[in-house]
């Protein structure tokens, strides 16, 4: 019974979200909201790309330091 309730609730939330989006996009204000969403998504994408590149550099540095440490501590 609980699974059916969750399924029904999920369906209702999806329907409300879809109707809201359709309403917003069907009027003039919807175009402004769509523009704002696209700008926000672009900013988020840029930030994620910056963090990704920083993360890659950090991993590369850690790998390099680990290799140096292993080389220095290699038995003679």
pLDDT of residue 28: 72
C-alpha pair distances (Å), 15 with each of 24, 37, 62:
14, 20, 48
pLDDT of residue 1: 54
Structure tokens at 36: 């704002």
pLDDT of residue 2: 63
Domain range enclosing 43: 2-72
Q: Structure pTM? A: 0.51
What pLDDT digit, counting tens, does each position of 3-56 carry?
Answer: 667 778 888 888 888 888 777 777 777 778 778 889 999 999 999 999 999 999
- Number of domains composing the chain: 1
């Amino acid at each position: 019974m609980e699974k059916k309730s969750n399924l029904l609730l999920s369906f209702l939330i999806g329907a409300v979200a879809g109707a809201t989006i359709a309403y917003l996009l069907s009027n003039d204000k919807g175009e402004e909201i769509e523009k704002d969403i696209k700008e926000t998504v672009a900013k988020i994408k840029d930030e994620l790309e910056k963090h990704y590149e920083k993360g890659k550099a950090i991993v590369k540095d850690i790998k390099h330091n680990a290799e140096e440490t292993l080389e220095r501590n290699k038995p003679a």
